Amino acid sequence: MSTEQADVVIVGAGLAGSIIAYQLGLAGVKVLVLESGPEIPANRNQYLERFYTATLKTPESPYPPVSTLDTPRNPAEQNAPRATIADLILGWDNPAVSYLVQKGPLAFTSTYERVGGGTTWHWVATCLRMVPNDFRLKSLYGVGVDWPISYNDLQSAYCRAEAEIGVAANVADQAYLGMTFPDGYQFPMTSIPLSLVDGSFVAAVQGQSFDGLPLVVSPTPAGRNSQPYAGRRVCAGNTNCTPICPIQAKYDATVTMNNALNTGNVRVLYKTVASKVTVAADKSISGIEFIQYQLGDGPPTGTGVAVGQRYVIAAHAIETPKLLLNSTSPAWPKGVANSSGQVGRSLADHPIYLAWGLMPEGKAVFPYRGPVSTAGIESLRDGAFRSQRAAWRIEIGNEGFNWPVGDPYVTVADLIDGTNGSATNPLPPAEGPQQVLYGTALVQKLNDLLTRQFRIGFLVEQVEDDPDNANCYIVPSTQYKDRLGIPRPEIHYDLSNYTKEGFRQAKILATHIITELLGATELTKPLPPGKFNYKDVDYSFQGAGHLMGTYRMGDNPLKSVVDKDQRSWDHNNLFLVGDGVFPSTGTSNPSLTIAALSSQAGDTLANDLKTAMVQVQANQPWQGTGVQINGPSPRLVRYLSGHWFASPAGGMVDGNGSAGLTAKPGYTLPGANEGALIGRISSTGAPFLIGDLAQIPAGQQGELQLCINDDLEGRYGVGLADNQGALTVQVTFGTL
């Protein structure tokens, strides 16, 4: 067994793991990342070609291991299997087909990737913030649980996440339901233009309301370029951006991981599966055992243990609890970090109510152009109704019937073969034989049908009836393993009546929008496998790919797994990050919140290892701190203790200096308080005020230097000669 060492060991090279690795790399921390899947090829054309030639075009189809309907892969024969759409089609409840060992009563219908970059390789790139009331669901509406943090606690982290991903949006469009932004804030890029499909909805819902709330179509914040950004091209409107953008106009986590690798402090071991977390006698994590392979269905090629000062598990809401629960020992019989019994509990998604229809004849909206989604109805995400039923956001799709039906392929086949898989040959309520067309007639009919298609998706909030004793959970299977001998995830999944009532209301509004406001023909029908009956009506849900819960944060160690910093209550050197820490789902796609929380966890880790304590003398000019500032890594300078004076007249003061004594033009920082703590980056940097607390201005690189704000050159007197005292200052990572 080999031993790999680093300051910090991270499991998972997806969004959360990549952001933390990059931040730590900038801080000079040595990082080792263990990634269960393969490295992304240097030329993404390999994945593009796989997608273009795949018969089953699903979110997973470009990526290894290949999943098909013809030759399903037995997950027991794969080293790093994952959930796929093919699993759901071929037998979601059959462990010989499905990697997830599903115990029901309902199917868990979301999938994910195990590859460098994680599931950002097939995300839609929606970058919505959570609304403020999402963080206090229990206290406001009496359901679910509250977060231990507020929207305001995430404000600056959201801004950092939007910069890292490169989010295209306009503040004016996003300031709804209590969401606020810093004064003068602008997103990195302006919004992606609305599609013709979106425009039809804008006109149709104008002045309309539901449940006392207005229906308002808003451009969706997107992690894709509306202008050149970070060396990536402008979105060219390829609707197959889910799963893969052919030109990388859409962000994926390999962008951040490549930046991390370029720091020279980060390395990644691919095809390396974490198998067990070990715990020392003092309750600290002592290592992470791993198994390596070269071929996805080949034999193991090595084993080892990764050892560090801090450990981060960023393997999302299914693989993370699986690893923790599989790491039992006599001292930890319930698994690592699980004294609360909440590891694996409260597995959640945004189950989607999918609805679709055909616009009236002569009213083409031209789908299959642009990103998968460019707008939605966000004005219904919060309200008093949440005491009775789940909230939702409405995503407007630009990909026609591709998701619910499989178009354009199905309608083409219908018109050639005389079938009716799309329910448009003939279109209800017409009856009679199906058409069989070819040549000009076929082209004309396709132009008529395909240009009028649209779909909408309601992303429904998932809330448990009793969150402390959740019905949805994941445990390691006692019967089924992968090829490496690691237990596979056993999934127990259901929807509460609270969530089902959200579906009932979504169906009512969907039909109203489609048939009455748009004047379209609704073709919605329940789709397997996510079917359920509620109040004698059949419904179905689709997986959003938003895996949440299973190691939630909280302020009570008895009812949560990590604290607000995402540090394990049980093990001081263990951090659990990603969407598994979400105490509740809200209605926003989770990626931006994952990124924001990860940036905060990265700050905490860097502060654990690299906090600098500096003493600044009053009688000395600019003093080097030894702290190197990297432009992308925000830092705070904080006064801790001590007093000094710049002149006897001003008296002893702290970092804020002498109130009422303004520094003269000859002082180092004119206009600021005399005797205040000031800083600069390198000997050529412009001085800036610190006082008792300040964030170092962004975009600078070099050594941080500190000084008292005084007449350094003695223009008005003796300069520093009469100064006395010193301040103790702390330099940390983070933002105000």
Instruction: Please report the DSSP string for 316-357 in residue order.
Output: HHHHHHHHHHT---SS-TT-TT-TTS-TTBS-B---EEEEEE
* Residue 686 DSSP label: P
On whether the CB atoms of residues 573 and 565 are closer than 8 A, the answer is no
On whether the CB atoms of residues 500 and 532 are closer than 8 A, the answer is yes
Three-state secondary structure call for residue 465: coil
Instruction: Provide the pLDDT for residue 630.
Output: 85
> What is the C-alpha to C-alpha distance for residues 631 and 378, in angstroms, rounded to an integer?
35
Query: Locate tokens 């002592």: which residue?
Result: 286
Which residues lie closer than 8 Å to 632 by C-beta, 6 or more apart? Answer: 22, 26
Which residue, among 511, 542, 534, has the nearest Cα to 524 in the 3D structure? 511
> What is the C-alpha to C-alpha distance for residues 580 and 576, in angstroms, rounded to an integer?
8
Count the residues in the chain.
Answer: 736
* C-alpha of 647 from chain center: 52
Q: Could you please report the per-residue DSSP string of 404-416?
A: HH-TTHHHHHHHH
431 by Cβ neighbours in 10 Å (0-12 / 13-18 / 19+) ranks as exposed
> What is the C-alpha to C-alpha distance for residues 394 and 397, in angstroms, rounded to an integer?
10
Three-state secondary structure call for residue 538: strand
> What is the C-alpha to C-alpha distance for residues 547 and 142, in angstroms, rounded to an integer?
24
> What is the C-alpha to C-alpha distance for residues 389 and 402, in angstroms, rounded to an integer?
30
Under-50 pLDDT residues of the chain:
none
* Residue 276 bridge partners (DSSP): 289
> What is the C-alpha to C-alpha distance for residues 414 and 467, in angstroms, rounded to an integer?
46
E strand or H helix that includes residue 397: strand 392-397
Which residues lie closer than 8 Å to 408 by C-beta, 6 or more apart? Answer: 368, 400, 402, 446, 450
Instruction: Provide the pLDDT for residue 70.
Output: 80
Residue 299 Cα distances to 90, 293, 482, 489, angstroms: 27, 7, 12, 21
Instruction: Provide the pLDDT for residue 348.
Output: 98
Instruction: Provide the pLDDT for residue 620.
Output: 95
Instruction: Provide the pLDDT for residue 718.
Output: 87
> What is the C-alpha to C-alpha distance for residues 507 and 503, in angstroms, rounded to an integer?
6
Pull the structure tokens for residue 7. Answer: 């300051």
On whether the CB atoms of residues 243 and 60 are closer than 8 A, the answer is yes
On whether the CB atoms of residues 288 and 277 are closer than 8 A, the answer is yes
Instruction: Provide the pLDDT for residue 716.
Output: 84
How would you classify the pairing of strands 702-708 and 677-681?
antiparallel
Q: Could you please report the per-residue DSSP string of 221-254?
A: PBSB-SS-BTTBPPP---GGGTT--TTS-B--TH
Residue 496 Cα distances to 206, 210, 346, angstroms: 33, 23, 12
Q: How many CA atoms lie within 13 A of 727 on its CB side?
A: 35
Pull the structure tokens for residue 121. Answer: 């390789």
How would you classify the pairing of strands 473-481 and 8-11?
unpaired
Phi, then psi, of 389 in degrees rounded to 5: -155, 165
> What is the C-alpha to C-alpha distance for residues 712 and 427, in angstroms, rounded to an integer?
84
Which residue intervals of 470-555 are DSSP H helices? 497-511
Condensed to tens digits (0 to 9), the pLDDT of residues 150-178 reads 999 999 999 999 999 999 999 999 999 99
Instruction: Provide the pLDDT for residue 688.
Output: 97
Pull the structure tokens for residue 331. Answer: 């001292």
Classify residue 696 as left (phi > 0), alpha (psi -120 to 50) or beta.
beta
> What is the C-alpha to C-alpha distance for residues 165 and 170, in angstroms, rounded to an integer?
15
* C-alpha of 153 from chain center: 17
* Residue 287 bridge partners (DSSP): 278
Instruction: Provide the pLDDT for residue 710.
Output: 94
Task: Report the 10 Å Cβ neighbour count for 277.
Answer: 24
